Chains A and B, each alone.
Chain A
């Protein structure tokens, strides 16, 4: 599976660490084909607004701390149709990526400010403040932290009036598959919240699809 090249000076990507087994474990609710739906709050001082959002996981590579998928925003005022974007994610696994972003205009202060908005992050705060959480053991932690960065618009042009300049700080709950996130973009309203739940296509239970790349 792919790995994103990041700038070599980026502190978010860990190099030289001893490969251990401290990384977040795979979770079936965060696997390819899995869907999530909910809302993104896009309120500003002028008005309250929320878009309905559907997310689908398309690829995941635990070895490289990578995942990707699409995000579909419905009822977007300036768009005639739902707006779909493709995003790529970094899994904070302390091996490939730490809690420090190191790019996209986010400072370590921004990182801490956003991660602390997740209740599940509080037990990790002290170690993260020291070194981005490089020495944390996340192998049994029931939450997976990620950053999602939208890469391109799938079905509309870049002149649609929407921006994908920022990225999301994301927390996934392994227990119930819910996702919470906060959008970060210095030029947008702060802390726009993303709240998603795992969907099951109207079934009485959970179903899982599969593909395998050669």
Chain B
């Protein structure tokens, strides 16, 4: 019966562990049991999990501790003990091999400390088994941090790198890859001669070469000084060799060589300018995408690191038809989540800056793949799809053509606003921020489904969600008709909007003010939206303008009041009262400070406010000009007629000319 067979296996395993734990079991039997366990678990995830659940790891680590104790008491040379050590180390390595729960158990049981001692054992076979075991541990993200900055640790690391044993030298490189995180650590490693050592390992065996490539990338990352050292190694021979490695016959070597070259190029943009190398990198990474294993999973991420934020590389990749190839892969799917995530992120990077790339992606019906991915089980895939969509929606041309609306992608996006994973919510908000902009002056499709959600999220405790939600509302309010503005205000409410203007985060304040700016723009009766019964909103805007130092907040606040000042006489006076409140003597000074700002964007916003306040044929313009004169504003304007910013100069002249009409009178 199956059940009794499995319980029989369970019993067998329990008995095996019990024998290993027992002091009465003779060493020869323990060796046999260890061999049995090793043979069962190697290549069998199920068996590993079974033994893990029965507490096998602490048992094995306990055996290792006995071997170490024996070493310390001069018991080296005991052949049986050495054979036991070899088997125990192999078992630990097997548990740690690509099994997170195995790595956790191994670390929790304290295996690392014993293994680090045993790696100096006199028996090469013990050393080799231990090195393999530690290599698996250090290939996991859970590996313990190795502190390079402690002198004896650095000496130990160098001894590993200098070892003639391939597994030991690889272990040294793996430790660097996993543990080197700070600039100080990079410098310490470089100072200890690690770069030279790693460069020499490039010429070693396949595993040494690959381990060395990975750790070189980590040590050189964003460190031009160390990169220069590497580039000088063997008079440039090392980097030439690296360039050749992107054509190596082993896929993982090619991938790691690409990654290393990209690290160099990203930190030292003067190097590797040759377009043939750039093209070679793109083409190699495209080929590697076809690898069915981890290399294929990692390839799109490496491609992203090559092209992210770099238009020239994106153009080269575009000409290599990267977009076509990535979309073809999506068509050919399905893939594991990691590969799918990588492909979407690479497409997102491709479409981040260039319209030609977005056009190509649209023509290949990328929106269909995105729509499917929005429902994927993996949060990482959903996030990546949203990031791709956000970058695609930077295309004003395609948004204006209604491609997003036509693809019925709005509804799934709105649903993601309620996603259980905050990173998905934030990524969805990023895309929605762009998609809500409706240039057609029809009611945005988001008004029906998304408005409620966006308003809800604008009250989130998470500031990243709050700022993105209010950002989306700002964009939603761009050029909308009055009915939509009323709906937005009804849902958001004036008190909430007022509190957002006073939010602890200045980025939220900025977006909230920009929202108000849009609400009061448009047909002349739009200005009414800022006037609530108690005038609280307007007061909040005025107070914010006179209290904040954040330039972006000032600019939006100034535009709100400037837009209001383009309204009727009552509205102009209301703006005037906020810009120059009677009770505050220092507000006159602060308006002059705005006009004197080193940021031309603030100067221009302030001058526009003056243009509007002194607009000809306004009944109260004369009174306002006198007030401006008394506040020293007109004198300040006179100094701006030759402002270095053309826009400021031209508007200052207009405001001055308008003011002079009244002052002459």
The residues of A with any CB-CB pair to B shorter than 8 Å are 1-5, 25-28, 32-33, 56, 58-59, 66, 68, 70, 86, 88, 139-142, 151-152, 154, 174-175, 200-214
Q: Are B401 and A206 interface neighbours, CB within 8 A?
A: no
User: B residues 326-362 with Cβ under 8 Å of A?
Assistant: 353-356, 358
What are 5 A-B residue pairs whose CB atoms fall within 8 Å in the complex? A27-B647, A28-B651, A70-B400, A204-B568, A212-B475
Q: Is B645 an interface residue (CB 8 A)?
A: yes
CA distance A72 to B440 in the complex (A): 12
Q: Are B647 and A4 interface neighbours, CB within 8 A?
A: no
CA distance A121 to B643 in the complex (A): 23
CA distance A9 to B651 in the complex (A): 40
Interface string of B593-626 (1 = CB under 8 A from A): 0000000000010001001100101100000000
Name the interface size band of chain B.
Answer: 35 or more
From B354, B395, B521, B646, A140 is in contact (CB under 8 Å) with B646
Q: Are B434 and A209 interface neighbours, CB within 8 A?
A: no
Give the number of residue pairs across the A-B interface with Cβ within 8 Å. 139
Q: Are B612 and A206 interface neighbours, CB within 8 A?
A: yes
Q: Are B647 and A28 interface neighbours, CB within 8 A?
A: yes
* B residues less than 8 Å from A58 (CB atoms): 396, 400, 439
* B residues less than 8 Å from A209 (CB atoms): 478-479, 517-518, 521-522
Q: Is B567 an interface residue (CB 8 A)?
A: yes
From B434, B608, B615, A214 is in contact (CB under 8 Å) with B434
B659 to chain A, nearest CB (A): 14
Q: Are B355 and A3 interface neighbours, CB within 8 A?
A: yes
Q: Are B355 and A4 interface neighbours, CB within 8 A?
A: yes
From A86, A201, A212, B474 is in contact (CB under 8 Å) with A212
* Binding-face segment, B33-41, B445-453, B557-565: B557-565
* A residues less than 8 Å from B651 (CB atoms): 28
Q: Are B434 and A204 interface neighbours, CB within 8 A?
A: no
Q: Are B612 and A210 interface neighbours, CB within 8 A?
A: no
Q: Are B397 and A25 interface neighbours, CB within 8 A?
A: no
Q: Are A210 and B514 interface neighbours, CB within 8 A?
A: yes
Q: Is B215 an interface residue (CB 8 A)?
A: no
Known: A70-B400, A208-B521. A28 touches B355 (CB 8 A): no
From B358, B468, B478, A211 is in contact (CB under 8 Å) with B478
User: B residues 31-72 with Cβ under 8 Å of A?
Assistant: none
* B residues less than 8 Å from A27 (CB atoms): 646-647
Q: Are A210 and B608 interface neighbours, CB within 8 A?
A: no
Q: Is B390 an interface residue (CB 8 A)?
A: yes
Q: Is B379 an interface residue (CB 8 A)?
A: no
Q: Is B437 an interface residue (CB 8 A)?
A: yes
Q: Is B520 an interface residue (CB 8 A)?
A: yes
Q: Are A25 and B559 interface neighbours, CB within 8 A?
A: no
* B residues less than 8 Å from A1 (CB atoms): 394, 396
CA distance A43 to B444 in the complex (A): 38
Q: Are B615 and A212 interface neighbours, CB within 8 A?
A: no
Known: A142-B646, A152-B401. A210 touches B354 (CB 8 A): no
Q: Is B471 an interface residue (CB 8 A)?
A: yes
Q: Is B650 an interface residue (CB 8 A)?
A: yes
Known: A205-B565, A206-B612. A3 touches B514 (CB 8 A): no
Q: Are B646 and A206 interface neighbours, CB within 8 A?
A: no
From B397, B563, B646, A151 is in contact (CB under 8 Å) with B397
Q: Are A86 and B390 interface neighbours, CB within 8 A?
A: no
* A residues less than 8 Å from B431 (CB atoms): 214
Residue ID in chain B nearest A24 by CB atoms: B646
Q: Are B612 and A214 interface neighbours, CB within 8 A?
A: no
Q: Are B518 and A2 interface neighbours, CB within 8 A?
A: no
Residue ID in chain B nearest A210 by CB atoms: B514
CA distance A66 to B355 in the complex (A): 10
CA distance A202 to B617 in the complex (A): 13
* A residues less than 8 Å from B556 (CB atoms): 210
Most chain A beta carbons < 10 A, residue from B468, B556, B563: B563
Q: Are B396 and A204 interface neighbours, CB within 8 A?
A: no
Q: Are B475 and A211 interface neighbours, CB within 8 A?
A: yes
Q: Are B356 and A33 interface neighbours, CB within 8 A?
A: no
B358 to chain A, nearest CB (A): 7
Q: Is B572 an interface residue (CB 8 A)?
A: yes
From B355, B400, B522, B650, A5 is in contact (CB under 8 Å) with B355
User: B residues 90-111 with Cβ under 8 Å of A?
Assistant: none
Q: Is B264 an interface residue (CB 8 A)?
A: no
Q: Are A68 and B400 interface neighbours, CB within 8 A?
A: yes
B79 to chain A, nearest CB (A): 67
Residue ID in chain B nearest A140 by CB atoms: B646
* A residues less than 8 Å from B208 (CB atoms): none
CA distance A211 to B615 in the complex (A): 26
Known: A154-B400, A210-B514. A2 touches B395 (CB 8 A): yes
* A residues less than 8 Å from B401 (CB atoms): 86, 152, 154
Q: Are B471 and A204 interface neighbours, CB within 8 A?
A: no
Interface string of B169-193 (1 = CB under 8 A from A): 0000000000000000000000000
Q: Are A88 and B397 interface neighbours, CB within 8 A?
A: yes
A178 to chain B, nearest CB (A): 13
Q: Is B566 an interface residue (CB 8 A)?
A: yes
Q: Is B292 an interface residue (CB 8 A)?
A: no
B655 to chain A, nearest CB (A): 11
Q: Are B524 and A201 interface neighbours, CB within 8 A?
A: yes
Q: Is B542 an interface residue (CB 8 A)?
A: no
- Besides the contacts A58-B396, A205-B567, A207-B520, what 4 more A-B pairs have beta carbons closer than 8 Å? A3-B354, A70-B439, A204-B568, A209-B518
User: B residues 611-664 with Cβ under 8 Å of A?
Assistant: 611-612, 615, 617-618, 645-647, 650-651
